[in-house]
């Protein structure tokens, strides 16, 4: 986390709050090779660290299934929790 920014810390705080409250977390996600980010809505269940990357895992409301998202691909900030 030597390269983490204030925005990264704020996003982690918001995700952990959503996990604790079992709340929805909405964000823009940039998939590899894509030119535009896609807005995703997730009910996050846990944070995981895998192969040097921090990820959030939870129920993706768009895909209607459990999904995992890399934090370094979340762009545009958090749209809030509900």
pLDDT digit string, tens, across residues 22-41: 999 999 999 999 999 999 99
User: Would you mind telling me the total number of residues written for the chain in this entry?
Assistant: 82
Of 7, 20, 28, nearest in space to 47 by CA = 20
pLDDT at 6: 60
User: Could you tell me the end-to-end alpha-carbon distance of the chain, in angstroms, rounded to an integer?
Assistant: 28
pTM for the whole structure: 0.82
> φ, ψ for residue 8 (rounded to 5)?
-60, -45
Displacement of CA 25 from its chain's centroid (Å): 7
For the chain, the average pLDDT equals: 86
């Amino acid at each position: 986390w030597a390269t983490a920014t204030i925005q990264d810390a704020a996003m982690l705080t918001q995700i952990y709050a959503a996990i604790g409250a079992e709340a929805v977390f909405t964000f823009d996600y940039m998939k590899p090779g894509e030119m535009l980010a896609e807005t995703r809505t997730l009910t996050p269940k846990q944070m995981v660290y895998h192969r040097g990357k921090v990820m959030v895992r939870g129920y993706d409301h768009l895909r209607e299934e459990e999904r995992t998202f890399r934090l370094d691909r979340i762009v545009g900030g958090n749209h809030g929790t509900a």
